[in-house]
Amino acid sequence: MRVPSLPRNTLLAQFLRELPGYMERVGSGIRLMINEMHELDLPEPEFVEQHEFIVIFRNNCSTLTEDEVNPQSKLNERQLTGLKLIQAQGSLNNSEYREATGATERTALRDLADMVELGLLITKVSKRSQRYYLP
């Protein structure tokens, strides 16, 4: 099975290819994962690219739902807007979330708490406010 090598950062990949012994078998990792899963008689790994690259390995007993595979599928429009804003600026607090989405303070707290519970955000508390970041 041939799997093309498509580096996400071509400049970095080119630099690492030029370092002797650093990238010896370019493009072999995904093929290796697929072959190993076949050898173990398990489903092929799934590849998901959201704000990061995720590889999902399943065993034969797996019955994950779409919500478990892609927690963002549970989000409402406000929450999706908030995630995009965090991706753009690095972090966000409740006030900035309310301003961007038009949510009330209570709704904003609930929306942000839900995203933390889903593992989509982490929080850091300072003396002045709580900020939300991507994990």
Q: Has residue 4 been placed in a domain?
A: no
pLDDT of residue 68: 52
Q: Is the domain of 58 the same as that of 42?
A: yes
CA proximity to 83, closest of 107, 114, 56: 114
Q: Which domain covers residue 77, as residue numbers? A: 71-133
Q: Which tokens hold the place of 68?
A: 């478990």
Domain count, the chain: 2
pLDDT of residue 133 exceeding 50, the answer is yes
Q: Is the domain of 16 the same as that of 42?
A: yes
Mean pLDDT of the chain: 82
Is the separation of the CB atoms in 113 and 104 below 8 Å?
no
CATH number of the domain within which 114 lies: 1.10.10.10
Q: Has residue 57 been placed in a domain?
A: yes
The residue type at 100: A
CA proximity to 79, closest of 55, 107, 53: 107
Q: Three-state SS for 51?
A: coil
pLDDT of residue 64: 47
Q: Is the domain of 87 the same as that of 57?
A: no
Mean pLDDT of the 96-124 span: 94
* Cα 18–chain centre separation: 29
Q: Which residue shows structure tokens 């173990």?
A: 40
Q: Is the domain of 127 the same as that of 81?
A: yes
Is the separation of the CB atoms in 46 and 58 below 8 Å?
yes
Distance CA 53, CA 50 (A): 6
Mean pLDDT of the 19-31 span: 73
Q: Is the domain of 59 the same as that of 94?
A: no
Q: Which tokens hold the place of 113?
A: 């708490």
* Model confidence pLDDT, tens digit, residues 27-75: 677 788 888 888 888 888 887 777 677 788 777 655 545 445 566 678 8
CA proximity to 98, closest of 84, 114, 111, 117: 111
The residue type at 123: T
Angle at 8 between CA 85 and CA 49, to 5 degrees: 55
pLDDT of residue 81: 93
Q: Is the domain of 75 the same as that of 127?
A: yes
pLDDT of residue 130 exceeding 80, the answer is yes
* Model confidence pLDDT, tens digit, residues 72-88: 678 899 999 999 999 99
pLDDT of residue 9 exceeding 90, the answer is no
Q: Is the domain of 51 the same as that of 79?
A: no
Q: pLDDT category, 101, cuts 50, 70, 90?
A: very high
Q: Is the domain of 46 the same as that of 83?
A: no
